[in-house]
Amino acid sequence: MAYETIIVEVEEGIATITLNRPAVLNALNDKVFNELGEAALSLSADNSVRVVIITGGDKVFAAGADISQMANSTAVDVATREKVSHRAFQLLENLPKPVIAAISGYALGGGCELTLVADVRIAADNAQFGLPEIKLGILPGAGGTQRLPRLIGAGRAKELIFSGDFIKADEALRVGLVNKVVPADQLAAETRKLAKRFASRGAVALRLAKASVNEGLRMDLEAGLEYEHKCFSLLFATEDQKEGMKAFLEKRPAQFQGK
């Protein structure tokens, strides 16, 4: 599919979505949100795709929602537009395969919120994160007030949201906002290495493991454990479970077929 504001490439079962509005530091407008949503749907349905990487390239991840689009918006415009971002981000968050964000440079506002819908975040050592919306007289409206506290705790999230301050990659690692920090020139290679590791696992087990974590986080512990048990039981109906355990007993690497 041809997109205007993103580039989607698939190589060896790993899809890469690259934000592509360099003139405005990959600012996210409605077109970007819609295209991200379309890409999420299309990559969900493509069985040849095992893992998805989201990146902004090697200079900037994204400097937030497009302020020029928002500046003269009415409350009614925004009520509709925010749903556009929520829809896209929920489609990405629920994509039934691992999603890795590879972050170089600024990940601000909606850009930072976009990293939060990934399963794993890898930052280049030049990355900077922040939710500067408060400085514009608004609040993070693409999931930031909900996903960030769930990821790093309410106290740390509120400090970022109330101050609008940026934090560097090492601080983002310290507070648990990213999984790993790597030298900027190794971001793409390190991300691909992890993507390949995920891709070598069974696709059905990955899908249910992701659903178990994501759905479980929306439930109380008891319901989450019940959900996990259903996913766990279901995997015993797969060929991959038979192969995984047989391979272990035969002391050889498993060859998963995603069945």
- The encoded tokens of residue 211 equal 């659903």
Which parts of 23-52 interact with ligand COA (CB under 6 A)?
Answer: 24-25, 27
**Given the residues 113, 171, 190, 222, the one annotated as active site:** 113
Q: Which long-range contacts (CB under 8 A, 24 or more apart) does 216-222 make?
A: 217/150
Nearest CA-CA partner of 84 in 29, 162, 157: 29
Q: Which is nearer to ligand COA, 16 or 128 (CB)?
A: 128
Q: Which is nearer to ligand COA, 24 or 213 (CB)?
A: 24
Q: Which is nearer to ligand COA, 108 or 181 (CB)?
A: 108
Q: Which is nearer to ligand COA, 7 or 136 (CB)?
A: 136
Q: Which is nearer to ligand COA, 107 or 231 (CB)?
A: 107
Residue 1 CB, shortest distance to ligand COA, in Å, is 25
Neighbouring residues of 84: CB distance < 8 A, sequence distance ≥ 6: 30, 33, 34, 37
Catalytic residue list contains 215: no
Which parts of 45-84 interact with ligand COA (CB under 6 A)?
Answer: 63-68
Dihedral (C-alpha) 76, 79, 82, 83: value to the nearest 10 degrees?
A: -120
Catalytic residue list contains 93: no
Residue 95 CB, shortest distance to ligand COA, in Å, is 24
Residue 143 CB, shortest distance to ligand COA, in Å, is 13
Please give the size of the binding site for ligand COA, defined by CB under 6 A: 15
Point out which span in 10-18, 21-29, 88-96, 205-213 binds ligand COA (CB under 6 A).
21-29
Q: How close are the terminal C-alpha atoms of the chain, in Å?
A: 27
Which parts of 97-156 interact with ligand COA (CB under 6 A)?
Answer: 106, 108-109, 132-133, 136
Helix axis angle, 203-216 relative to 221-235, nearest 10°? Answer: 170
Distance CA 249, CA 97 (A): 27
**Given the residues 4, 133, 215, 250, the one annotated as active site:** 133
Neighbouring residues of 169: CB distance < 8 A, sequence distance ≥ 6: 123, 124, 125, 126, 127, 128, 129, 178, 181
Residue owning tokens 């934000």: 19
Helix axis angle, 239-249 relative to 203-216, nearest 10°? Answer: 110
Contacting residues toward ligand COA, per CB under 6 A:
24-25, 27, 63-68, 106, 108-109, 132-133, 136
Q: Which residues are catalytic?
A: 113, 133
